[in-house]
Structure 1
């Protein structure tokens, strides 16, 4: 029962499909073109045959004037009866012939012309007065068509009316016969066009089927598929390009969502376990109010840490997905660095570190003020954290070929070479030999990498264990605008 219902549904879907409509359009256009071409051909052939009939009648008219001559004031046929060719020509001319004087008195009338009917005296006088031969169409009693040439012949002031006829019925039937044969062959041609149109429509729609199949595979969860462009540069290539770009964005978004879920579950698992363990221990062992208070305070600190993790993750996801719009303006980042470094003076003095800014004049770059502060703050925080007492941290700014170079270097503990390719990944932290209670979330350098990319630049790192680290951020050359104008407001967010 279900199969019997499914088959008509498939047929109906095929009949309503785009391929069927395209094939039907091909057939309809070709049918109209073929029928129109047939009628145009018939009309052209009719005109050619009519001109040919006129030329034949002209030759018959000249031949008649050659054989019909005046002798002793009368018109007579002059030819050699013994000459078969001349005898046949005169006999042919006299088959459809009418000869009268100018008053309409019949001098000679063939049986063939009598079948066309008599000419009126008005018609005869009109031809005599016109002095030029005319051609008319006549029909006999059977309906057959004749082309008749009427004119005059003169001799010594006398005028004679002469009319000869040429049967053209068979000639006129040729275009209709050919058109009939042609129209009978049109269905065969249309049948061929149906198959060709069906094939061409299927070939033209093949990229659309690929798009549909890829979309079905995407619906099944496979976002890595792409459709190869055909290289023709037509509308289908534009559609394929837009579809592939959509898939790339979808794949990137799904990867970001998956990465966010993994990162959040990984980073929140440990604080939640710690909080649960602390509360369970307090519930089982705490006896005084102070012990309960201490356990709750420790749990609140861990909850605050969890909130910071979630907030930083959300901000990084928004940044990498393009939801954070930079408000860039041309600024002297050497001046910005001086202002920001002054905020880290107390922390560096407490740790006994030397913190200096090295800049030989202004260093212009087109940056977002808030995001630049976040980038430099993250680099300074790492440098101060991993540099021992008595160490040195420098912020160097210079203009190189128009581009702004920001370098943050220290002589701290450094990073092993095996860890360098991963330092800009989320939550990546170099394994330390001694536990660090102030260990960060592992998101600071991920923010630095994103901010550099968002400004059209890049970040590089060089480091050796025991020798220190050097982070170089390169901002592209700014556009030539007036840097003294007012600075627009920037994006806002948490410093990580």
Structure 2
């Protein structure tokens, strides 16, 4: 008896679940095995047809040619010459153990030949008007029954000439070929199944790495990555997933940092507002006291509103919602306008501001976003460079891209901090005594990214070079 649980274990080994559904790997194995089996059957059929089929056709051709040669001796009355030729063929020592000849008279009497018994099918080939016929049947010759291929050739006077060959050797060859084909098919099928299982194991191994990494990420370990080896499609997929995980980890870290920063930046002004209102209520209530507390609270609330507006500005830039508003801009004109607007502010702060903004530097973008980004960089340069500093603002080309560079000779940014200052709420002033909320460079970076560019911060030696890089506008199509 067959063990009941065995089919279930085999199905599980092949990858089928208890619900009858197969995994992708199991489906690939079954498909690969089916394709291999069909290929084996087709190849075997072609090989068999090309060997046994050709042998059968050649044998039939030889039998027909031999019968026609014999009929060339049939002109003598009584067929004496034909009888002599049949007897000569049977005694010439050439294929005598396989050749079959039999001449039967019109009345059914054998005239010559080596058949012990005339086969029953020969009666159909005799008689007037009968046609030649090729048959396969069993014959009795030399006391033994053998398979044979016979050509029944009726003659004009009613006689019947039978020419044929013993098929014993041919059947032996056929059996050898069949055994060879079956053995080859069995080996090929085993190799196909083994290859399919190895293929399945390889796929499951590579997919298992992805699944294990996903489980680690789900458990909160964002630092886990998929091992990458080789250069196949799985390796390319693993690299893409790892880059995505790097980005997710960076975003999650940014979210944690933003959450902490928002909590700090909101708690301070809200506490200040509450303290002032509470102080106004604790003391003698006068119009002047309440008015002063209200004005101070309004100022703090305005600061909070500006904070949220800047956060919304970053979100809007990162979402790409304003990409549909992009237009062809002359970047030099935008820089010149911002420089003109800040000339008085720089002069009041004792700062020398020079602007170099040649015309005809075209990009596709949002004028307001780019102007706000340039203004933020210029605000930072004025605030941190300090009185007596020199600031140069220039629009031009930089390595094949449009560039807006603002170079100041202030204290600059330390190398180890340069990659961090574009994070939201990140500030070099850890004590947060200086005005600001750490969103300026984050907005500039988001704006540059939304335009297909980037913000680059470089050592100005001395000072800092803040550079917005943007792709140049493509030439407009004049055709059509």
Q: Same fold (TM over 0.5)?
A: yes
| Aligned residue among 27, 37, 40 for 1:31 | 37
Tell me how many residue pairs correspond in the alignment: 454
Q: Is the 8 A contact 2:102 2:112 kept in 1?
A: yes
Q: What is residue 491 of structure 1 aligned with on the other side?
A: none
Tell me the CA shift for residue 206 of structure 1.
3.1
Q: What is residue 196 of structure 1 aligned with on the other side?
A: 195
Q: Give CA deviations for 1:323-363 in whole Å, capped at 9, x if unaligned.
A: 553855444444434433444455456x3646655447536
Q: TM-score, normalised by structure 1?
A: 0.68
| Aligned residue among 311, 316, 335 for 2:314 | 316
Q: Describe how 1:86-235 pairs up with structure 2 within 5 A.
A: 86=91, 97-100=102-105, 106=109, 108=111, 112=115, 114-117=117-120, 123=126, 136-137=134-135, 139=137, 145-149=147-151, 162-168=161-167, 171-172=170-171, 175=174, 179=178, 183=182, 190-191=189-190, 193-228=192-227, 231=230, 233-234=232-233
- Structure with higher Rg: it is 1
Give unpaired runs (5+ residues) of structure 1.
Answer: 483-496
SS at the partner of 2:323? coil
| Aligned residue among 448, 473, 476 for 2:467 | 473
Q: Give CA deviations for 1:59-100 in whole Å, capped at 9, x if unaligned.
A: 976998999998999459779x9x9x9487899799852243
Tell me the CA shift for residue 30 of structure 1.
3.2
1:19 matches 2:17: no
Query: How far apart in 2 are the matches of 1:107 and 1:435?
Result: 130
Q: TM-score, normalised by structure 2?
A: 0.70
Q: Describe how 1:209-358 pairs up with structure 2 within 5 A.
A: 209-228=208-227, 231=230, 233-234=232-233, 236=234, 239-240=237-238, 243-244=241-242, 246-283=244-281, 285-289=282-286, 290-320=288-318, 325=323, 327-344=325-342, 347=345, 351=348, 353=350, 357-358=354-355
Q: What is residue 493 of structure 1 aligned with on the other side?
A: none
| Aligned residue among 357, 360, 364 for 2:361 | 364
Q: Is the 8 A contact 1:337 1:357 kept in 2?
A: no
Q: Is the 8 A contact 1:394 1:409 kept in 2?
A: yes
SS at the partner of 1:316? helix
SS at the partner of 1:148? strand
Query: How far apart in 2 are the matches of 1:398 and 1:91?
Result: 106
Tell me the CA shift for residue 116 of structure 1.
1.5
CA gap of 1:363–1:353, structure 2 versus 1, over 3 A, is farther
Cα-Cα RMSD? 5.2
Q: Is the 8 A contact 1:27 1:197 kept in 2?
A: yes
Tell me the CA shift for residue 203 of structure 1.
1.7
Q: Is the 8 A contact 2:425 2:438 kept in 1?
A: yes
Tell me the CA shift for residue 54 of structure 1.
4.2
Deviates more, 1:90-99 or 1:326-335: 90-99
Q: Is the 8 A contact 1:394 1:410 kept in 2?
A: yes
